[in-house]
Structure 1
Amino acid sequence: MRFNSFKTLLVLAAVALTTGCATQQTPYDYSAFERNNPSSILVLPPINSSPDVKASYSVLSQVTAPLAEAGYYVLPVAVVDETFKQNGLMNADEMHTAPPAKLHEIFGADAALYIEVSRYGSSYKVLTSEVAVEASGKLIDLRSGDLLWQGSALASTAENQNNSGGGLVGMLVSAAVNQVLNSLTDRSHDVAGIASGRLLSTQRYGGILNGPRSPFYKQARLANR
């Protein structure tokens, strides 16, 4: 009996070790990012894959700040959007098909940020109500066409919800209250700001590197060598 228990412990220990090894993150490959070394970024209006028509421009309006804080010059997003429309590209799907070399010729930016919003807005279920925004992005060098970076991020009001203290009734009341708040205020826009900040953060694993205008620029480059 004891022998069988000992064998079981050995198996569990082996599984734990295997799982631990499998979850270790490999270093993000920044070689193309460092080789192309962009200093200016063109942000294209995001493609909206969510049901909410406000998603694209809500996210677009909040990406300049984190990129500027990261040390990049960001072309004014309103001017970029209007320039596209004056040239016959009226929506984000069409804008994203423009050749990188042509974008570089027109705007003069080193790189372009392509974003897709997959979730945006509130969802209501029996026991939960949340506002969530999820977006993915990729940074393409407009001079070489190289993929410099890609990532994704999610932000949700459910992150701060704790319904365990009130039981089933408390969870139902909390969900109902959140649903009312979501319908009375545009909480999605605020959550989009959090998601955008996370997506373009230089502080998280696999985030973008600091740009030439950041005081941490040289430190970031040395840390990735």
Structure 2
Amino acid sequence: MRFNPCKALALLLLAGLLGGCATPTPYDYSAFKQSNPASILVLPPVNRSPDIKASYSLLSHVTLPLAEAGYYVLPVALVDETFKQNGLMNADEMHMVPPAKLHEIFGADAALYIEVSEYGSSYKLVTSEVAVTANAKLVDLRNGQLLWEGSARASSAENQNNSGGGLVGMLITAAVNQIINTLSDRGHEIAGITSQRLLTAGTFNGILPGPRAPQAMRDQLTAQ
């Protein structure tokens, strides 16, 4: 059979299109539904980014989406202070406490472990963006079982349009944005968006609604 390069290229393009349209696998919520947690302990996030503000910036945003999802969230400032009063001064140490011990101390049904892998501004010659990326795991404190995990990212570049002004205009815009981002700490604002994307209930493969959620939101839980 004679090799046809045009036909081969067409097949490769078709395969790429089919692969790009693959449907994501739905999350297995069986353990989450069986656990049915009502209260959540949020541990201070572990910071893997260079910005020292990342952990507590994100922590300040997590209570709202979890409360709106129908969970009782232990006061994050009180939790943080309790750890520090017991000699655990950073998030890495706090995350190493066994689930059973956390349940004994705080009495929550589940704990949310968060890791910040990206936080702050970056300058890339013709673009400047502020981005926050976070990963989370929800663990049952009564038996140590993983109930859910997810990740989210938000960036100031999502709504930027650099089409006008040519290369010089793009360079100037990027430089100005970098200065503004640094002076105003837009990372805190972007962290709020990341937190909402990560912890809002009812999204695909997101956290499930809690027992205090509105009926319409709980109906989504039944349907999944």
- Fold equivalence (TM over 0.5): yes
Q: Which residue identity lines up with residue 148 of structure 1 in the other structure?
A: L
User: Are the structure 2 counterparts of residues 208 and 72 from structure 1 closer, same or farther at C-alpha, using a change threshold of 3 Å?
Assistant: same
**TM-score (norm: length of structure 1):** 0.92
Distance 2:165 2:152 in 1: 31
Identify unmatched segments of 5+ residues in structure 1: none
Note closer, same or farther for the CA distance 1:122–1:7 as it changes in structure 2 (3 Å cut).
Answer: closer
Question: Is the 8 Å Cα contact of residues 38 and 109 (structure 2) preserved in structure 1?
Answer: yes
Structure 1 CA distance, aligned partners of 2:222 and 2:187? 38
Amino acid at match of 1:223: A
Q: Which runs of 4+ in 1 moved over 6 A?
A: none
User: 1:118 and 1:9, CA in 2 relative to 1: closer, same or farther beyond 3 A?
Assistant: closer
- Mapping of 1:1-225 within 5 angstroms? 7=7, 11=11, 15=15, 18-19=18-19, 23-215=22-214, 216-224=216-224
What is the CA–CA distance in structure 2 between the aligned matches of 1:137 and 1:16, rounded to whole Å? Answer: 31
**Deviating more after overlay: 64-73 vs 118-127:** 118-127
Distance, in Å, in 2 between the alignment partners of 1:139 and 1:16 is: 34
Where structure 2 has 5 or more consecutive residues not aligned to the other structure, the ranges are none
Deviation readout 1:99-152 (Å, 9 max, x if unpaired):
000100110000000000011111112111111111100000001111011011
Counterpart secondary structure, 1:143: coil
Scaled by the length of structure 2, the TM-score of the pair is 0.92
Question: Structure 2: how far apart are the matches of 1:158 and 1:14?
Answer: 31
> How far 1:182 moved relative to its partner?
1.2
The one-letter code of the counterpart of 2:218 is K
- Sort the Cα spacing of 1:218 and 1:15 in 2 relative to 1 into closer, same or farther, 3 A: same
Q: Note closer, same or farther for the CA distance 1:181–1:38 as it changes in structure 2 (3 Å cut).
A: same
Report the residue type matching 2:116 in the other structure: V
Quickly say closer, same or farther: Cα 1:85–1:24, change in 2 above 3 A. Answer: same
Classify 1:12/1:89 alpha carbon distance in 2 versus 1 (closer, same or farther; 3 Å).
closer
Q: 1:75-113, CA deviations, whole angstroms, 9 ceiling, x for partnerless residues?
A: 000000011111111110000000000100110000000
In structure 1, give the amino acid aligned to 2:57: S
CA-atom RMSD in angstroms? 1.9
* CA distance in structure 2 between the aligned counterparts of 1:176 and 1:44, rounded to whole angstroms: 36
Identity, in percent, stands at 70
Deviation at 1:19, TM superposition (A): 1.9
CA–CA separation in structure 1 for the residues paired with 2:183 and 2:31: 45
Per the TM alignment, residue 183 of structure 1 is displaced from its structure 2 partner at its CA by 2.2
